[in-house]
Structure 1
Amino acid sequence: MQSLIDLMQIRDSLALDPALLALMQHWLSMFAAKTQATRMQVLSKRQLVSVMHAQASSTDPTFESWPPEVYSILLDYFHQTNPQHACFETNFGKLHVFPLRQSISHKNAILLIQHDDLSSAAVELVEQCLQMFYHYASLIIENERDALTGLLNRKTFDQCVSKILLNDYKPEYRFPLHHYLVIFDIDFFKRINDTYGHLIGDEVLLLLSRLMQASFRDGDLLFRFGGEEFVGVFSCADEQGIVQLLDRFKDTLAAYVFPQVGQVTISIGCAKMALNVLPNTVLEHADEALYFAKEHGRNQICYYEKLLAQGLLKDSIVTGEIELF
C-alpha cells in the first residue's frame, strides 16, 4: 500500500511515469514468481524510433537498452489500431507488453515487463493498476492543461522548465541533446478578433494548437501562455535540428487554410536553454528574439544567439510590447 500512497501523493506530472514503475516493481515482487527477476520500462514510440536509428557508438546511460530483435517486435505492436496486452517469446525470455493509455511524457507509450512466469492473475493485476493510473493521471493532466486548446498551461511551464534546466528531466535519447525554448505569437491576432469576432478567434487558437501537436514530436512540450502566445520546449541533437523543426512547422502553417480567416502567419523567437539558468531569463531571451521578429516584418523565425552574434541584439533584457505574464 505504501507504493500506492507514494503515487497518489505526486502532483508533478513528469514524476508519474517513474512512480508507476516503482509501484509495478513492488506489486509484482509480491504477486509474481519470486524466482524470476523482473525488468520493466516505460517506452514511447518516439524513443523506440530514435534508438533504432541511433549510431551504435552513441549511448545514453539513462536509457536501458533491449536486444535489437525486441525493437522490431515493438514497432509492429505500435502500429496496431487497438493494442491490448501481448506476450512475446524472445531469445532472452518472455516479454509482456501493455498499452499505456496515459503517459504524461509521451503520446504513444507502452509498459514493458520481462518475466518468464507471469500468471493470468498477475497480468490482470497489472491491467487494473494501469487503469487506476490512467484515471489518476487524467486528473493531474486536467489541472495542468489550458481549457481551450488542451496544451499545457503556464503553471506547468514553470515546473517543467525548472526540471530541464536543473538537468532533472531527460528525454531518453541515445545521443547528446540540447534544449531550446521557443515563443510563438500569431501575427495581427487582434485584427482577426476585430474582423471575425472572438468565436472565430478562439477557433483559430484551437486549430493552431492542433496543428502544433500534429507537427511536432512526441515528448515536445507545448504550452499556451494566454491570448495568442504559445511556448514550446524542444530537445534537439544540434542547432540544425531546431532550425529544421521550426522551418518545417512554419511551412506547414503557411499551407494551412483557416476557415473564414484564410492564411494565418506567426512570428517565432527561439533561445537556447542552459543548465542553472533561470527559466525567466531564457524566456526573456526568446521574447527578445520574438520582439525582433515582430519589429522586422513578422512571419519569421529569429534566434537569440544568432542575433547576439550578429550584433543585432545586446546581451541585456529588452522590454517590448509583448506581455507574457
Structure 2
Amino acid sequence: MDGLTSTATARPLAEPSALDHVVELTRSRDRGLVEESLISALVDLVDAREVTIWRLDPSGAADASAADVAQRGSWQRVTRRLAQTGDTASNPATAEATDATDAPAASRPEHLRCLREQVRVDVGQDLAGLHHVLLPMDSELEGGGVIELVLAQPIEPRDMRVATSMLRIHANFMHLLDYSERDTLTGLLNRKSFDETFLKATVLEARRQFAADGEQRRQGQPRHPYLGVIDVDHFKRVNDVHGHLIGDEVLVLVARIMRSALRSEDRLYRFGGEEFVVMLDASDDEGARAAFERLRLAVAAYEFPRAGHVTVSVGYVDVRPGDTPQAAFSRADTGVYHAKAHGRDQVVAYAALVAAGTVTESDGENDIVLF
C-alpha cells in the first residue's frame, strides 16, 4: 500500500518447552533415542550441567540376591551428556569422561540406595562445587537405572517436579513399548522387534567398515555386531516328561540366566518355542565366543527345580553390511544344527564351519550346503 511501510523483526528462536521435549521423547520406538531425548529434556528444563544414566549390571547368577549384586555387580554408564557442548555418549566403551565408565556396585552406595528404595538422593557437592542429585528410573523397567544430575546449585522444587514428571512420562512410554515389543512369557524382546535392531546394526557396521583409516584410529578398537541363536536341548522331552507348565518354567529361567550372563546393552529375544536370539557387539570372533560360552556354561550349571539338568546349543555369526535378518539368522542356525548333530551343549561359530570346509556358502545368495 502506498505511503505505508512494513518492518518485520526476526524473533529469536524460543528454547524448547516441556511439551516440545515430551513430543521428542515419544516420537521414536528406538530405546536409545528415547533415553537421549530424556537426558536432553533434563539438560534444558532443569539447567543441568551434566546428565548421566547409570544401570546396574548384576554380573552374577540368575537368582542373585541383593547382597550378591552389591558384591559382584557394577554400575555401567549408559548415556551421558554435557550441557556446555551438547555431546552425548551412549556407549560405555567410548564415552569420554573424567570418571570411570563403570564401577563396582558397592563403590556407589548412594546409587544403590536410590535404585533399591526408589527415592531421590542428594549426594552433595563435588570438589568443583557442583551439586549431584540422583533420581530413580522405574524399577519395573528391565535393568532399572539411576539418573544423575549435576547442577551449579541445589535443585529447586520446581525443577524437581519437572524432572520427576519427565521421568514418569519416560517410564509410561517405555511400558507401552514393552507391551508391544516383549514376549509375554519371558519378558524378552519378541520377534517383531528384531528386524529394526538388526538393520540398524548393519548400517553401523557399514559405516565402520567404510570409515576413513584416521577415523577408525580415533575411535580405537572397533566392535562388530554378532548374532547368536540359542536353542534349548531336548526341550520336547522336558514337555513330554514334566508337562508344559514345567517347560514354560524352563524357558523363563533360561531367559533370566541370559540376562545375568550377558551384558545389559546386549539385545535378547525369544523367537518362539525354545528358540532365543542374541544381538551383541564384540571386538572379534573370540570375544563373541567368550560371551556365548559364558551363557552356555551358566545354563549348564543351573539346577532347574523340576527339569534338573538343562543345556543349550548355540550358533553365532558376524553381521555383515547389507545382511538381511533372514540371511544372518540362517547362518547362525547352521551352527545350531551342527551343534545338535554333534552332541549338543556347545557353541559353534559359522565362520569356523566354513573355514573347516564343513559348510560352503555361495557368493551371491548365501546358499548353504552341508557336507
Q: Which residue of 2 aligns with 1:323?
A: none
Question: CA 1:98 to 1:309, structure 2 compared with 1: closer, same or farther past 3 Å?
Answer: same
Q: Distance in 2 between matches of 1:70 and 1:211?
A: 24
| CA contact 2:270–2:276 (8 Å) conserved in 1 | yes
Task: Please state how far the C-alpha of 1:297 moved relative to its aligned partner.
Answer: 2.1
Q: Which residue of 2 aligns with 1:318?
A: 368
* 2:189 alignment partner AA: L
Which 5+ residue runs of structure 1 have no aligned equivalent? 52-59, 321-325
Task: Please state how far the C-alpha of 1:108 moved relative to its aligned partner.
Answer: 4.2
Task: Please state how far the C-alpha of 1:287 moved relative to its aligned partner.
Answer: 1.1
Alignment of 1:109 onto 2:127? no
Alignment of 1:128 onto 2:128? no
* 1:66 alignment partner AA: A
Alignment of 1:16 onto 2:51? no
* 1:19 alignment partner AA: S
Per chain length, whose mean CA-contact separation is higher, i.e. which structure has more relative contact order (CA < 8 Å, sep 6+)? 1
Aligned residue runs from structure 1 range 153-172, under 5 A:
153-167=190-204
Task: Please state how far the C-alpha of 1:177 moved relative to its aligned partner.
Answer: 1.8
Q: Distance in 2 between matches of 1:70 and 1:303?
A: 31
Q: Which residue of 2 aligns with 1:65?
A: 96
Normalising by the residue count of structure 1, what TM-score does the alignment of the two structures yield? 0.81
Q: Secondary structure of 1:314's partner?
A: strand
Question: CA 1:44 to 1:196, structure 2 compared with 1: closer, same or farther past 3 Å?
Answer: closer
Q: Distance in 1 between matches of 2:53 and 2:171?
A: 14
Question: CA 1:25 to 1:174, structure 2 compared with 1: closer, same or farther past 3 Å?
Answer: farther
Q: Secondary structure of 1:146's partner?
A: coil
Q: Distance in 2 between matches of 1:287 and 1:70?
A: 35
Alignment of 1:38 onto 2:69? no
Q: Distance in 2 between matches of 1:137 and 1:146?
A: 15
* 1:2 alignment partner AA: D
Q: Which residue of 2 aligns with 1:82?
A: 117
CA RMSD, 1 decimal: 3.1
Task: Please state how far the C-alpha of 1:152 moved relative to its aligned partner.
Answer: 0.4
Task: Please state how far the C-alpha of 1:22 moved relative to its aligned partner.
Answer: 2.7
Task: Please state how far the C-alpha of 1:111 moved relative to its aligned partner.
Answer: 2.1
* 2:30 alignment partner AA: D
* 2:152 alignment partner AA: D
| CA contact 2:317–2:331 (8 Å) conserved in 1 | yes
Q: Distance in 1 between matches of 2:348 and 2:111?
A: 36
Task: Please state how far the C-alpha of 1:206 moved relative to its aligned partner.
Answer: 1.3
Q: Which residue of 2 aligns with 1:292?
A: 338
Q: Distance in 2 between matches of 1:113 and 1:96?
A: 5
Question: CA 1:265 to 1:273, structure 2 compared with 1: closer, same or farther past 3 Å?
Answer: same
Q: Distance in 2 between matches of 1:247 and 1:203?
A: 23
Aligned residue runs from structure 1 range 116-195, under 5 A:
116-117=152-153, 118-167=155-204, 176-195=222-241
Q: Distance in 2 between matches of 1:69 and 1:87?
A: 18
Q: Secondary structure of 2:170's partner?
A: helix
* 2:325 alignment partner AA: P
- Of the three residues 132, 154, 163, the one matched with 1:95 is 132
Task: Please state how far the C-alpha of 1:102 moved relative to its aligned partner.
Answer: 6.2
* 2:163 alignment partner AA: V
* 1:140 alignment partner AA: L
| CA contact 2:360–2:369 (8 Å) conserved in 1 | no
Task: Please state how far the C-alpha of 1:278 moved relative to its aligned partner.
Answer: 2.3
Task: Please state how far the C-alpha of 1:50 moved relative to its aligned partner.
Answer: 8.0
Task: Please state how far the C-alpha of 1:225 moved relative to its aligned partner.
Answer: 0.1
Q: Distance in 2 between matches of 1:8 and 1:82?
A: 27
Question: CA 1:69 to 1:20, structure 2 compared with 1: closer, same or farther past 3 Å?
Answer: closer
* 1:166 alignment partner AA: V
Q: Looking at CA atoms only, which structure, 1 or 2, has the larger radius of gyration? A: 2
Q: Deviations over 1:75-111 (max 9, x none)?
A: 343333325332431123223332222697x724322
Q: Secondary structure of 2:252's partner?
A: helix
Q: Deviations over 1:195-219 (max 9, x none)?
A: 2221221111112111212222211
Task: Please state how far the C-alpha of 1:71 moved relative to its aligned partner.
Answer: 7.0
Q: Deviations over 1:37-57 (max 9, x none)?
A: 733233434595589xxxxxx
| CA contact 1:102–1:137 (8 Å) conserved in 2 | no
Q: Distance in 2 between matches of 1:134 and 1:49?
A: 20
Task: Please state how far the C-alpha of 1:310 moved relative to its aligned partner.
Answer: 1.3
Which 5+ residue runs of structure 2 have no aligned equivalent? 1-18, 58-73, 79-88, 209-218
* 1:27 alignment partner AA: L
* 1:84 alignment partner AA: V
Q: Distance in 1 between matches of 2:135 and 2:172?
A: 16
* 2:157 alignment partner AA: S
Q: Percent identity?
A: 28
| CA contact 1:184–1:269 (8 Å) conserved in 2 | yes
Q: Secondary structure of 2:368's partner?
A: coil
* 1:16 alignment partner AA: V
Alignment of 1:260 onto 2:296? no
